[in-house]
Structure 1
Amino acid sequence: MSESGDATHDADTSGVRRRTFIGASLTVGGAIGVMPLLSSCSTEPDEPQQVSTTVRMRVNGQEHTVEVDNRTSLLDLLRERVGLTGTKKGCDHGACGACTIHVDGQRVVSCLTFAVMHDGAAVTTIEGLERNGRLHPLQQAFIDHDALQCGYCTPGQIMSGAACIREGRTGTPAEIREAMSGNICRCGAYPHIVDAITAVAQRGG
């Protein structure tokens, strides 16, 4: 065979090799791209996810065991499952403070925390402040100082105020207002609320 013939043969062979390589690459690439789609179409069921949890907590001195949806807020557990409706649902976004309670001695906006996060906790609501039928001093002070009007925000105000007194954040009216700034009163009873908290703090709580 002539040199020109050999060159032609080599060119043809090289072309075949290139076409084979390109074809193989496209085939492999296509297979890789399809694999995730095939995987997502699997007929095997997904691993079942846990949607509820048994929560145990001590609420106002009483033990409660409740199975709740994992998305249930602590506020909804208290109101709907335990039956303590004194804690109010205001904004449900943590902005008004109406749902303030105490968890392990700390004030908490209960609409913003999940019930399952407080398994084993000690919870106090507005219903748990009185002792042996006697109002908590701050509950009585709210009455004496006319620190409420419609009353919807009052449970959260009292729970927050009691925490402020315990925390020692009652040195001046300005300090009280700052410590209570997370609790909104749409009726505008703020001056009387400060007066009630001041009176109890001065008596030593």
Structure 2
Amino acid sequence: MITKIHLNFVLAGLGLFAVVAGSQAATISCTGQGYDISGNVLGASDCLILSPLSGEANDSTSPPASSYTVNTESFFGQNTWQFDGKFEVTEQTNSSSYFNFSGNGQSGGYGFTGMNNSMQFMFVLKDGNNTNLVAYLLSTPVLAGTNTYSTPFTSPPFSFSGASSSKDISRISVYYLSDPGGPSTGVPEPGTIAMLGLGLLGMGLISRHRKGGQY
């Protein structure tokens, strides 16, 4: 039988795992009861929302790339996203080298201006006020011509006070993968690593006690 002190140690470790795992951000589906914002960017093949829904996260792009929000949260299972540029909707300025944008915070259009449309691209849309980031994975190859977008910041899935049913997009950020054909580079969540470590620790303690004749 495992001694009481070792049992307490394992239980304490499990408690630490619960805290670590509970602190991790997550993503949720773009479709649910009463809402479907998966089609708000024409030409997207997948969509996710960073939770919590009222988290007001910023899609930070401060170097190095490993510290980008989209990489620390492994958007679409990848953590090697590169930042291309952004369309600041309010200021009507665009720094993307692959896409041009037009429109306003409620709706607009975009077109691919690069040469290699076989690359993997992602749009990350931000509002900020009682919402969270919404990301769209574009189809590969990127659809030709002018495609449309509309605000995903609607109620539901987000909860707005008063009579407001939608909010404006403030920014559309463009990301790409330099090696879209490579294997997924998603890294294990810290909570997963903690659980693996505890499992190995438990196996080691049991083996140690068996060798010592304690069962």
- TM-score after normalising by structure 2: 0.25
The answer to which structure has the higher strand fraction is: 2
- TM-score after normalising by structure 1: 0.26
Larger radius of gyration: 1
